[in-house]
Structure formats: structure tokens, C-alpha cells
Structure 1
Amino acid sequence: MEADGNASWKQTALILGGVIGALLGVGMAYMLVRQAEENENRMQFGTGEGVRLGIILADLFRQVARLGEGPD
């Protein structure tokens, strides 16, 4: 069984990460919708854009995972 202090920081990190991720996701979606409205177009993603976005997100996740590793 984990000590309460150990579980507490983990729970805080998960909740904080979830809230920040949700806020960033809503903010980015808002910017995309606003840009589409300004250009009077529907937002459309092609296959290439989807692949690029997936690669960028995978790299971002890898970088976030490395935050706790300490100095190189």
C-alpha cells in the first residue's frame, strides 16, 4: 500500500494534467474554428496533415515523459 503523501502528489498530477490538457484542447479547437470562420471555409484535414499532427503529438508526449528523468 502506498503512503497517503505519495498517492496525493500522483492524484494531483493526474488531475492537473487532465485539466490543462482539456483547456488546451478546447483552446486549440476554438482557434481552428475561428480561423475557418474568418476564411469562410469549412475546416478540412487531409491525410498528410493528420500524419504530421500525429508525429508532432508523439514527439510532445515523448518530451513530456522525459521531464522527470533529470539531467542528461
Structure 2
Amino acid sequence: METQASNWKTKILLAGTIAGALIGLGTAYLMVRTAEENNTNGLPAITTKDALKVGVSIIGVARGIADLGRPR
């Protein structure tokens, strides 16, 4: 019985890891492309305000995903 419980947990963790890596890669690609289109030389400037907005949004998405595991 322990093997089945461990098996689905491993699958979810692996899927989450792969999805997170792909989303991170895609986001980084879009950031680089946008910086190139705007002729930014080097790393684009990110303000504290922008970083906080993105951080709060990511926390909201993570909470929403975590709530998918709750019974209804």
C-alpha cells in the first residue's frame, strides 16, 4: 500500500518540477526577447515594485494550485 501512495506523490512532484522548469525557461526567453526588441544593452532593469508585483502574483498562483488538492 505504501508503494502506491509513494508512486502518485512521485509522479506529481516530477510533473511539477518539469512544468516549473518549462515555465521558467519560457519566461526567461520572453524576457530576453523583449529586452532585445527594446534595444536594451545587457540585463534589463527590474524595479523593486515590479519584482514585488511578480512575487505576489506567483504566490497567488501557487496557492491556487495547492488548493486543487483539497477535498470539496
TM-score between both structures, scaled by the size of structure 1? 0.90
Q: Following TM superposition, by how much is the alpha carbon of 1:70 offset from its aligned partner in structure 2, in angstroms?
A: 3.4
Q: 17-26 or 40-49: which moved more?
A: 40-49
- Give the match for residue 35 of structure 2: 36
Unmatched runs of 5 consecutive residues or more in structure 1: none
Runs (4+) off by over 3 Å: none
Matched residue pairs, number? 70
Q: Following TM superposition, by how much is the alpha carbon of 1:34 offset from its aligned partner in structure 2, in angstroms?
A: 0.4
TM-score between both structures, scaled by the size of structure 2? 0.90
How is 1:10-21 mapped onto 2 (pairs within 5 angstroms)?
10-21=9-20
- Give the match for residue 69 of structure 1: 70
CA distance in 2, matches of 1:8, 1:69: 19
Paired AA for residue 37 in structure 2: E
Encode CA deviations 1:13-54: one digit per residue, 9 max, x unaligned.
Answer: 001100010010000000000010011014110010011011
CA distance in 2, matches of 1:38, 1:70: 46
Unmatched runs of 5 consecutive residues or more in structure 2: none
* 3-state SS, counterpart of residue 69 of structure 2: helix
CA distance in 1, matches of 2:59, 2:14: 21
